[in-house]
Amino acid sequence: MMINNRLKKVGDLVEAESSFLDIGCDHAFLDIYLARKKDGNFKKIVASDNKEGPLKQAKKNIEMYQLQNKIELRLGEGLDIYTEDIDTIIISGMGGRNMIGIIKNHLEAVKTIKTMILSPNNYQSDVKRFLVSIGYQVKEEHLVKEGKIIYQVLKFVKGKKKYTKKEFFFGPLLLEKKGNLFNEYYQRELKSREILLTLLPKNYYLRRWKVKKEIKLLKEELR
C-alpha cells in the first residue's frame, strides 16, 4: 500500500506498543500502514470517523489487507468514542480549530492520553497554544512537503513548558532546526500575509495591526 509522506511522518511518530485512536481516519491508510509495521506491536488500534461513508471505505480497505482482527472501527464524533485504554490520539488532515474543538469537548480524556500526534491544516500556532494550556509540551515538530504543500506534523507529550510568543508563532523546535523547508514554509507565510494586507479594508484596524506585526516578525527571522 502506498502512503504519502505526510501520513508516513504522522505514523512514524506513534510509539511502539501504544494504544492509539485515529480520529478522522477517512480511508484508514494510516491505520493500515501502522498495523502492518513490523516493529509496531501496538496494543490497540482504533480508527474512527464521524461519517458513515469514509468508515465504509475504511472497512473495505482494512478487509482487503485482512486486518479486521487488528484494527477496530468506531463511528462517532471526535473524542465521543474515546475509551480509557487509549494512550495516544492522532488527528491529521483537518483544520486546527476543529482539532481544538474535538479536544475541548472531552478534556477529561487528557487524564489518560499521554501523547497527541496532530497535523493541522491551519491555525497551527493556536493548536500549540491550546495544547500547552492543557498540560502538554511540544516533543517533535516536523515540516513535510507533499506535492506543493508543506504540512506541519506535531507530537505533544505531557509536561509543563513555557514558550515565547515567537516560539509559538514559528514553532519552538522548528525555530531551533530551521533549514531549507523552514525558509520555504515561512516565505510562503510572509507572502500570504502581504497579499492579505492589500485586501483587508483600511478600517479593520486590529486585524491589519496583527498582520503587520506578523510580517515584521517573519521579515526579521528570514533576513
**Residues in touch with ligand SAM (CB under 6 A):** 7, 23-26, 49-51, 54, 77-78, 92-94, 98, 102
Contact 222, 187 (CB under 8 A): yes
Edge-to-edge strand list for the sheet holding 19-23: 71-75, 44-49, 19-23, 88-94, 115-120, 149-158, 136-146
How many whole angstroms separate alpha carbon 152 and alpha carbon 84? 28
How many whole angstroms separate alpha carbon 167 and alpha carbon 114? 23
Residue 24 CB, shortest distance to ligand SAM, in Å, is 3
Considering the complex, state which of residue 80 and residue 87 has its C-beta at the smaller distance from ligand SAM.
80
> Which positions ≥6 away from 175 have C-beta within 8 Å?
166, 167, 221
Considering the complex, state which of residue 94 and residue 200 has its C-beta at the smaller distance from ligand SAM.
94
Considering the complex, state which of residue 3 and residue 110 has its C-beta at the smaller distance from ligand SAM.
3
Residue 54 CB, shortest distance to ligand SAM, in Å, is 4
Contact 132, 105 (CB under 8 A): no
Residue 56 CB, shortest distance to ligand SAM, in Å, is 11
Considering the complex, state which of residue 51 and residue 207 has its C-beta at the smaller distance from ligand SAM.
51
Considering the complex, state which of residue 49 and residue 141 has its C-beta at the smaller distance from ligand SAM.
49
How many whole angstroms separate alpha carbon 215 and alpha carbon 179? 20
Residue 49 CB, shortest distance to ligand SAM, in Å, is 5
